[in-house]
């Protein structure tokens, strides 16, 4: 069951361009031949340790180390280096017929490689249903694309949604439960190993537990970590969840040590996509987040999915609050 064939890919000349565990996981499910691909990992969401684990099975380009933790330098700090890196990116991508993965983040209008976007959660869903933000003249001069999703040839998503008219015929919906079901035990074990998942780590989680998916609110915004922690504590108290029944799944971009703040809770690794939990038959009471789509995978494996959005007691800046409340979850 190779999803790539269903979206018209008839070549092995593929560059896999990934920056999130979730999108990488979906790619490994969609491509039966992923071990023979070239991978370019970028950004700060996938750790170096995870990159090394992926190298056990597939070719990870050395350029990945240059693209982590950020794929491009800041233009204003060194414009010559910035332009040189953009040109080098064009040359690298020109070696491949397709770029598949987090392709919307190529963000370089010099690159002409065909692109297939594997969804990365909320951002992809929002752009398909509301459109991409338009960039200004400075961004275009900086070789950034005016609207990133306009360059995507196909989208592979794991959620039924109604895209805007401009994307009709471009969106393919997959069922990752069915894709996982059709993997052999060996294939499943390889994927679990890439994400450093030992199924026994879930043995302490039972149907009386509730899972909190946290988000990097204080890492990527002008927002104090103590406010984030106090907000999550208040949220858990409001829902009458005992700390001994709480499971916390941190976001990969977070640096917060939740064990310090929730010593009685089970703190999971950040280095795997949460979708693996229901696939491994983990069942819980409640699944909670502010706006993360991660919890949706627990439908049928929990009693309640709660999107709290941005409660006033999180004391967020208005811009951050608005960015969370805009999502239709």
Could you report the per-residue pLDDT of 178-202, keeping only the tens digit for each? 999 999 999 999 999 999 998 888 9
Q: Are residues 215 and 246 in the same domain?
A: yes
Angle between helices 185-194 and 21-30 (to 10 degrees): 160
Q: Are residues 28 and 138 in the same domain?
A: yes
Query: Cα torsion for 132, 166, 295, 273, to the nearest 10°?
Result: -80
Show which of 159, 194, 229 is a domain's final residue. 194
Q: Are residues 61 and 142 in the same domain?
A: yes
CATH of the domain at 263: 3.40.50
What's the domain range around 244? 199-323
Q: Are residues 179 and 246 in the same domain?
A: no
Q: Are residues 54 and 181 in the same domain?
A: yes
In a domain, 55, yes or no: yes
In a domain, 329, yes or no: no
Q: Are residues 182 and 33 in the same domain?
A: yes
In a domain, 328, yes or no: no
Confidence of residue 28 (pLDDT cuts 50, 70, 90): very high
Are the beta carbons of 82 and 75 closer than 8 angstroms?
yes
Q: Are residues 41 and 168 in the same domain?
A: yes
Q: Are residues 163 and 278 in the same domain?
A: no
Q: Are residues 258 and 182 in the same domain?
A: no
Show which of 177, 194, 211 is a domain's final residue. 194
Per-residue pLDDT at 1: 55
**What pLDDT, in 10s, does the model give residues 261-316?**
999 999 999 999 999 999 999 999 999 999 988 888 999 999 999 999 999 999 99
Number of domains in the chain: 2
Residue 19: partners with Cβ closer than 8 Å, 6 or more residues away: 41, 42, 43, 45, 46, 102, 105, 120
In a domain, 40, yes or no: yes
Q: Are residues 164 and 206 in the same domain?
A: no
Q: What is the pTM of this model?
A: 0.91
Which three-class secondary structure state does DSSP give residue 187? Answer: helix
């Amino acid at each position: 069951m190779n999803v790539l064939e269903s979206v018209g890919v008839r070549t092995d000349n593929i560059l896999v361009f990934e920056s999130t565990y979730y999108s990488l996981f979906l790619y490994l499910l969609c491509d039966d031949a992923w071990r023979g691909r070239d991978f370019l990992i970028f950004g700060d969401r996938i750790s170096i340790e995870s990159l090394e684990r992926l190298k056990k099975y597939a070719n990870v380009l050395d350029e990945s180390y240059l693209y982590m933790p950020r794929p491009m330098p800041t233009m204003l700090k060194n414009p010559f280096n910035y332009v040189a890196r953009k040109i080098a990116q064009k040359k690298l991508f020109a070696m491949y017929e397709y770029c598949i993965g987090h392709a919307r983040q190529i963000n370089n209008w010099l690159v002409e490689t065909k692109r297939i976007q594997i969804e990365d959660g909320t951002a992809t869903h929002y752009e398909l249903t509301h459109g991409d933000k338009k960039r200004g003249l400075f961004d275009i001069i900086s070789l950034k694309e005016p609207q990133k999703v306009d360059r995507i040839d196909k989208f592979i998503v794991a959620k039924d949604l109604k895209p805007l008219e401009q994307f009709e015929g471009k969106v393919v919906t997959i069922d990752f439960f069915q894709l996982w079901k059709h993997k052999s035990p060996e294939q499943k074990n390889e994927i679990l190993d890439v994400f450093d998942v030992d199924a026994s780590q879930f043995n302490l989680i039972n149907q009386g537990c509730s899972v909190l998916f946290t988000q990097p609110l204080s890492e990527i915004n002008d927002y104090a970590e103590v406010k984030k922690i106090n907000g999550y504590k208040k949220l858990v108290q409001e829902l009458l969840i005992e700390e001994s029944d709480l499971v916390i799944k941190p976001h990969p971009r977070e640096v917060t040590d939740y064990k310090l703040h929730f010593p009685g809770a089970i703190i999971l690794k950040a280095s795997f996509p949460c979708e693996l939990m229901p696939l491994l038959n983990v069942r819980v009471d409640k699944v909670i987040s502010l706006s993360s789509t991660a919890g949706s995978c627990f439908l049928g494996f929990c009693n309640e999915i709660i999107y709290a959005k941005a409660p006033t007691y999180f004391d967020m800046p208005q811009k951050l609050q608005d960015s969370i409340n805009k999502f239709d979850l």
